Amino acid sequence: MDDIIIVDKINKFYGNELVFQVLFDINLSIKRGQFTAFIGPSGSGKSTLLNIIGLLESPASGNIFLDGQDVSRLNKDEQASYRNEKIGFIFQFHYLLPEFTALENILMPYWIGKGRPPGKVVDRALHLMKRIGIKQFGGKYPNQLSGGQQQRVAIARSLVNMPKIILADEPTGNLDSKTSNTVMELLKEIIGENKTNLVMVTHDRDIAAGADRVIEIVDGRIKSSTT
């Protein structure tokens, strides 16, 4: 199967007494190996769609297929396990755990899913840290790192389980333009080397211009899509 992500007729609502629809019959397929950018105005549903693909939120209706599996049919525990093992996440805020070192934060997805990481996983984490220029900070805590360094730790964390899909929500939103460009170049290089799919929400048109495919979402609907 060429498509690693298939979104089939996804609808999403928020609210109880006052209900409003955020996504309207979204149909989407993303091919293996693509860097896909979601763009559109604030409140258009980009992050909601990303969260649904990443099994962080549930749709009101419709199905999500990831790597050929209908993950919509998994129960909550099964979805959590799938998410931890096979999807990497990078957010605008890095969400590092302050009481753990950079290396321990990177290893956290493995630790949560399978327990104490064996030597080969620690070596993988150290290799990732070296690859993105933060190996010397492995023993540092998040509050001892700059914003760019923290975001690089978050990138390494997203890759430590060797996921097939990386989902990123404004990952450079808190960085200056120079650090943002550096982080993006590193991220694109690493996902290219590992043949990992990257799906990113961004307001930065320059970043979107570097994607293989740009999908514009407006008012909960796909307005346009490049191929």
Q: Is 215:37 a contact under the CB 8 Å cutoff?
A: yes
Determine the Cα–Cα distance for residues 67 and 165; give it in Å rounded to an integer.
9
CA distances from 17 to 14, 21, 219 (A): 10, 13, 21
Determine the Cα–Cα distance for residues 67 and 90; give it in Å rounded to an integer.
20
Pairing outcome for strands 197-201 and 3-14: unpaired
Confidence at residue 227, expressed as pLDDT on a 0 to 100 scale: 66
Identify the CA nearest to 132 among candidates 169, 179, 198, 83: 179
* Residue 128, phi then psi, degrees to nearest 5: -60, -40
pLDDT 10s digit of each residue in the chain, 227 long? 588 999 999 999 998 888 889 999 999 999 988 899 999 988 889 999 999 999 999 999 999 999 989 998 889 989 988 888 888 888 877 789 999 999 999 999 888 878 888 999 999 899 888 888 888 999 999 999 988 888 889 888 988 888 889 999 988 777 778 777 877 887 888 778 777 899 999 888 888 888 899 999 999 999 888 86
Number of residues assigned to the chain: 227
Determine the Cα–Cα distance for residues 123 and 107; give it in Å rounded to an integer.
10
Confidence at residue 224, expressed as pLDDT on a 0 to 100 scale: 80
CB neighbour class for 85 (10 Å; exposed up to 12, middle 13-18, buried from 19) = middle
Confidence at residue 174, expressed as pLDDT on a 0 to 100 scale: 74
Domains of the chain: 3-97+163-225 (3.40.50.300)
Q: What is the pTM of this model?
A: 0.86
Q: Please calculate the CA angle 1-79-94 and round it to the nearest 5 degrees.
A: 95
Confidence at residue 1, expressed as pLDDT on a 0 to 100 scale: 55
Residue 97 gets which letter from DSSP?
-
